[in-house]
């Protein structure tokens, strides 16, 4: 059977012909680097909690970390493949740097008996087995609401529509969005470059 020709709607026109995602090949190459950063970010969130790690370091290091996140976002939005590769490597180094500093300064990772997720308003929900485990939740300056399994069971009983959907369609999910805590990059509408250079803190050596 002959292959159907894709429509224009399925392949929208490229707005940045020099961008990292201008072709299938460069997109795959760029995603290979970005997926590594995303996987590391998920690992750090699971280890330290939703949006908690950047709050465990000094304001100076937190600023550098946020600037590096901004530069990565700018590369994703406007950069070429080399920019995505470069900023992905620096972002990986930045995550590792925060992880190391937080550990060396005596901060404790998220307790394995505490599960966290980000709510739509940017606050964090911490799920614990019972009230006895509630003391294991580490707020660290975040807005955290603690829920026990019994409380969650009660909430499920109140939200019958979700429960019915889950039973009618096994595997159905309720989507969650947004980052975990107030993110300074959310207030920046246009990606670009800073007018002051960063030092080499997040520039991994070759």
What string of pLDDT tens digits covers the 206 residues of the chain? 444 444 545 444 555 678 998 888 899 999 999 999 999 998 898 889 878 899 999 999 999 999 999 999 999 999 999 999 999 999 999 999 999 999 999 998 877 677 777 777 777 777 776 676 666 677 676 677 777 777 777 776 666 665 665 555 555 555 544 444 456 666 655 555 555 545 555 666 65
Joined together, the tokens standing for residue 53 give 């790690």
Output the pLDDT for position 178: 45
What is the rounded distance in angstroms from the CA atom of residue 167 to the CA atom of residue 169?
Answer: 6
Residue 40: closest CA among 12, 1, 72, 63: 72
How many of the other CB atoms lie within 10 Å of CB of 38?
Answer: 13
Output the pLDDT for position 84: 95
37, 92 Cβ separation under 8 angstroms: yes
State the Cα angle at 34 between 32 and 37, rounded to 5°: 115
90, 26 Cβ separation under 8 angstroms: no
Direct distance between the N- and C-terminal alpha carbons of the chain, in angstroms, rounded to an integer: 49
Q: What is the pTM of this model?
A: 0.63
**Which residues are bridge partners to 148 per DSSP?**
128
Output the pLDDT for position 177: 43
């Amino acid at each position: 059977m002959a292959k159907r020709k894709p429509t224009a709607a399925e392949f929208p026109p490229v707005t940045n012909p020099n961008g990292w995602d201008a072709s299938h090949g460069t997109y795959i190459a760029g995603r290979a680097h970005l997926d590594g950063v995303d996987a590391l970010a998920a690992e750090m969130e699971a280890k330290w909690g939703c949006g908690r790690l950047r709050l465990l370091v000094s304001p100076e290091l937190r600023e550098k970390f946020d600037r590096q996140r901004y530069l990565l976002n700018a590369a994703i939005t406007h950069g070429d493949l080399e920019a995505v590769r470069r900023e992905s490597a620096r972002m990986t180094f930045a995550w590792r740097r925060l992880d190391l500093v937080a550990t060396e300064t005596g901060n404790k990772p998220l307790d394995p008996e505490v599960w966290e997720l980000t709510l739509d308003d940017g606050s964090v929900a911490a799920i614990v087995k019972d009230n006895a485990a509630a003391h294991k939740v580490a707020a660290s300056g975040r807005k955290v609401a603690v829920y026990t399994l019994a409380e969650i069971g009660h909430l499920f009983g109140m939200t019958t529509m979700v429960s019915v959907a889950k039973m009618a369609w096994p595997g159905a999910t309720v989507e969650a969005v947004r980052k975990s805590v107030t993110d300074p990059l959310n207030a920046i509408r246009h990606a670009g470059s800073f007018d002051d250079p960063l030092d080499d803190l997040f520039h991994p050596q070759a």
